[in-house]
Structure 1
Amino acid sequence: MAKSVATRSESKVKKLKLDTVLDMDDRISNLPDSLIYHILSLLPTKQAVATSILSRTWKPFWTQLPTLDLKDQPTNPPNTFTYSMHRILALHRAPVLRNFSLKWYTPCDSFDLDTWIHIAIERNVQQLKLEIYLNAEYEDDEDGSVSVDFNFGDDVNVIYYGELFFLPRRLYSSKTLVVMELTGGILLNPIYSCEFPSLKILCLHRIYYEYDDSLSRFLSCCPILEDLSILRNGTGGLTELKISLAKLKCLYIEFKPFRLEPSPGYKLEINTPALEYFRFEGYLRNIIFFEKPAHLVEAHVKISSELNRNEDWLDDWISEYKIYYGDWVFKLLRTLNNAKFLSLLCEDEKCIGFGSIYPSRFQNLIRLNFELNQANWHVLQALLIVAPNLEVLVVKCYDNGERLCWTEPLHDPGSLSHLTSFIFNGCEGLEHEMEFVNSILMKAIVLKTMTIKIKVSDRQLKESVLKKLLMFPRHSTTCILTVE
């Protein structure tokens, strides 16, 4: 009898648990369709398709999603994903495709790729992302993921030497594209009748260009482009680049040097009168702005090192380029003197040993991020003189080789008169560093905070630096000193 009661009790508990689960399922199924579509649109397409097995109610949801995010898996048997792609696109019914993303890393018939891209264009795709490597190799990372392996070390950017994919001609006349991102083994060769009347954001990441004018012809088809990113190992076959865009607001250029050969020369002409944000990273050659960007707000310049490599061609490179390198750097900086925010890093120790920032003045500059090495103290000194309205100064000392001492700049009554915040990263308490800090304390009459961040965690060094700071005379008696 007791056993029977216990059995009935267990049955009631199980029924209660089952009812709870069913109620939970009902709550999910009863969500508004718009919310379910939104949730599924955040998933990769493969996972969204998998939800169709949950119930008949869920089966059609993924077919109406306005996004497709598809990625080839190199571990799949040959042609398996090709078949899956055709199947997915055949079942997909969304009349408008907002986002289409395709990552492909294995051999594939270009006809198939063209077909899939055509389908996206026919459905008025607004955001298109293509990353294509037709014959890449793969290896398992330590965490089990799959990555492209081009037989280069981890310290070198990926360089692709495989078969290139020609973009379908139909793509060059898309009237609905707003965002386009192209990456990898893609060859850009725009037709002369190309047109992108709606394109506002364009990213060209390590793709290839058939002719020197391929880029400029492509950009001429983008009348309202506002954001442009060009990333390359070397120049991708380009020696003369022209960027002429009347509406462009953001420009990011990255030219990383090759490890196995000298970085090629190039000439970059920029005509972007509406530019507000500029970022350059990589090795520098001749960059020419047709006119100074009058509306520039933010500029970041990071020049990669070439002089510290030991290749046989290095001596020839130094003799050919060293004398011009400083002029290129300072010419670029002088062009950017309308910026309100500026960051500067020159990894080459001697790349700015020649040239001068004068007579330009950075009248609008209110924040400066500057990375010091033993060769560019004089550049920082010059910038402090020509930026009378500077409010925030952030300095990072990343190279302590053969140090050059801080030299007190020429007296300028307006120098540092508006500085309110100073941060010094990587300080070691060295004599020339403390002379520099002392100079800031003496000249910054409205300084509110000074933060010194020691390079290594050393309590005695922190105490020593703080003791020196407290002994320095300072113009601003309300300044808060911090040593971290």
Structure 2
Amino acid sequence: MDMLSQLPEALLLRILSLLPAKDVVATMVLSKQWEFLWMLVPKLVYDDSYQNIEYGRFSRFVHRSLTLHEAPFLDTLHLKLGKTSCGSGDIRVWIKTVDKRCLRELIIKIDSNKSSVVLPVSLYTCCRMLVTLKLKNAVLVDVTSSFSFPSLKKLSLVSMKYPGDELIKTFLSSCPVLEDLVVKRCLDDNLLILTVRVPSLKCLVLHNKEDAGLDVGFMIDTPSLECLEIFDNMGVLCVVKNNMTKISKANVCFSYAHIEQLMGSISSVKRLSLCTSKDSYPVGSVFYCLVRLTLCTCETVWLNLLMRMLRDSPKLRDLKLVQDHPLRPSEPRPCWNEPSEVPKCLLTSLETLEWVKYEATEEEKELAAFILKNGRCLKKVTISSEFTDRDE
């Protein structure tokens, strides 16, 4: 302990930031030097399952330690709740207690087995300096007064519930510099169309609930977007208001009836992972910037889609084929039709082929032979089944 005490205070505070708040506060008994050091720790993590603390003791501990905390700036307040009966009233008090600490990151994660906790209005009124906000398994309350998060750059909403579509629109419009957004929807979240209209947004992750109805989906208006991940195998609505000309990376897994619009809007993408039951996109689309393509082979249309992508991606360098999802036995196998012209990328740019879960079906053997025969720039080909790996 003497050697540890000789470390610079800044380093000691960083070490303490890695511990749960209960352990951080416990260090006050170590020595005179440590008696007040915990009050300056910039990151506090409260976990109500830690050592099975009952509700009353946990709530009082959080409130008292936050009240005694003296750091002028609090980088992170992380609340992991669910084992006790902490609710909206407790969270309201805790947020108000740190209101003057210029809190930069707030994380509230509620246990999924706990009944819905409605987050207090103080979330909107006492956290104006937040840079990061992460919420999970809670309910956002509706508000009539205006609010703003002028510094918020990262927002994560996982398995949240809402008063309706309008609140999420208002929430996002109150974040003028938002750059990263994650929304993973859940059952009964009370949303129909999730509208994401954020001019400053650079990274967007959207996951739809598994049993989405025909009238559930997304509306995306993000002209500055650079990275996109969208997962939805059930919804049918996805409206894109503009082309994402700055996008460099996209991970797309969905079965929309109108995939053409989304595919057309990301034609500037450089790295694309794709799994879809549709093999179409706007006629005339060319993926001039695409250098790496990962295509899932779980759908019947994958072979037709691949040949289209090869034809319309003249600078493609890396191709990966992988079966990420189980095959449906009732679905027919794809048919191989050799193209009348060899895609330009095979002749001038394709350098690597990686094929995972290769099954040596007739169409797979035909495709492999076609690529190996015409891939003039190929440097490495890796083909592996579920049971063996081999390089060719």
TM-score by length of 1: 0.74
Following superposition, the deviation at residue 243 of structure 1 comes to 1.3
Following superposition, the deviation at residue 114 of structure 1 comes to 0.4
The verdict on how the C-alpha distance between 1:223 and 1:297 changes in structure 2, with shifts beyond 3 A counting, is same
Looking at structure 1, the residues matched to 261 and 238 of structure 2 have their Cα atoms a distance apart, in angstroms, of 8
165-174 vs 187-196, which moves further: 165-174
Which amino acid is 2:192 matched to? T
Looking at structure 2, the residues matched to 253 and 87 of structure 1 have their Cα atoms a distance apart, in angstroms, of 38
Following superposition, the deviation at residue 265 of structure 1 comes to 2.5
- Give the structure 2 partner of residue 98 of structure 1: 75
The verdict on how the C-alpha distance between 1:91 and 1:374 changes in structure 2, with shifts beyond 3 A counting, is closer
- Give the structure 2 partner of residue 420 of structure 1: 351
Which amino acid is 1:363 matched to? Y
Q: Which aligned runs of 4 or more in structure 1 are off by greater than 3 angstroms?
A: 397-402
* Alignment counterpart, residue 62 of structure 2, candidates 68, 85, 102: 85
- Counterpart check, 1:265 vs 2:215: yes
The unaligned stretches of length 5 or more in structure 1 are 1-24, 134-147, 151-159, 304-324, 463-481
401-410 vs 44-53, which moves further: 401-410
The SS at the match of 1:111 is helix
Higher radius of gyration, 1 or 2: 1
- Counterpart check, 1:390 vs 2:319: no
The verdict on how the C-alpha distance between 1:218 and 1:338 changes in structure 2, with shifts beyond 3 A counting, is same
- Give the structure 2 partner of residue 47 of structure 1: 23
Cα deviation 1:351-371 (Å, max 9, x = unaligned): 327x44533111111000001
* Cα RMSD for the two superposed structures: 2.2
Mapped contact 2:229–2:250 kept (Cα < 8 A): yes
- Give the structure 2 partner of residue 276 of structure 1: 226
Alignment of 1:59-74 (within 5 A): 59-73=35-49
Mapped contact 2:121–2:141 kept (Cα < 8 A): no
Percentage identity across paired residues of the two chains:
30
Cα deviation 1:435-480 (Å, max 9, x = unaligned): 101111122221111111122238xxx6xxxxxxxxxxxxxxxxxx
Which amino acid is 1:364 matched to? C
The SS at the match of 2:183 is strand
Looking at structure 2, the residues matched to 275 and 173 of structure 1 have their Cα atoms a distance apart, in angstroms, of 29
The SS at the match of 1:208 is coil
Which amino acid is 1:77 matched to? E
The verdict on how the C-alpha distance between 1:191 and 1:79 changes in structure 2, with shifts beyond 3 A counting, is same
Looking at structure 2, the residues matched to 428 and 270 of structure 1 have their Cα atoms a distance apart, in angstroms, of 38
- Give the structure 2 partner of residue 403 of structure 1: 333
Looking at structure 1, the residues matched to 384 and 150 of structure 2 have their Cα atoms a distance apart, in angstroms, of 50
Mapped contact 1:121–1:171 kept (Cα < 8 A): no
The SS at the match of 1:364 is coil
Following superposition, the deviation at residue 268 of structure 1 comes to 2.0
Alignment of 1:32-431 (within 5 A): 32-73=8-49, 75-105=52-82, 106-108=84-86, 110-132=88-110, 148=112, 150=113, 162-169=115-122, 171-172=124-125, 174-234=127-187, 236-258=189-211, 263=213, 265-283=215-233, 284-303=235-254, 327-346=257-276, 351-352=277-278, 355-376=280-301, 377-397=303-323, 399=326, 401=329, 402-412=332-342, 414-416=344-346, 417-431=348-362
The verdict on how the C-alpha distance between 1:374 and 1:101 changes in structure 2, with shifts beyond 3 A counting, is closer
Following superposition, the deviation at residue 41 of structure 1 comes to 1.3
Mapped contact 1:183–1:207 kept (Cα < 8 A): yes
The SS at the match of 1:405 is coil
Looking at structure 1, the residues matched to 117 and 181 of structure 2 have their Cα atoms a distance apart, in angstroms, of 22
Which amino acid is 2:41 matched to? L
The verdict on how the C-alpha distance between 1:356 and 1:275 changes in structure 2, with shifts beyond 3 A counting, is closer
Looking at structure 1, the residues matched to 98 and 269 of structure 2 have their Cα atoms a distance apart, in angstroms, of 40
Following superposition, the deviation at residue 430 of structure 1 comes to 2.4
Looking at structure 2, the residues matched to 201 and 254 of structure 1 have their Cα atoms a distance apart, in angstroms, of 17
The SS at the match of 1:118 is helix
TM-score by length of 2: 0.91
Looking at structure 1, the residues matched to 78 and 266 of structure 2 have their Cα atoms a distance apart, in angstroms, of 36
- Give the structure 2 partner of residue 16 of structure 1: none
Mapped contact 2:121–2:143 kept (Cα < 8 A): no
The SS at the match of 2:165 is coil
Which amino acid is 1:47 matched to? D
Following superposition, the deviation at residue 240 of structure 1 comes to 2.1
Looking at structure 2, the residues matched to 112 and 415 of structure 1 have their Cα atoms a distance apart, in angstroms, of 60
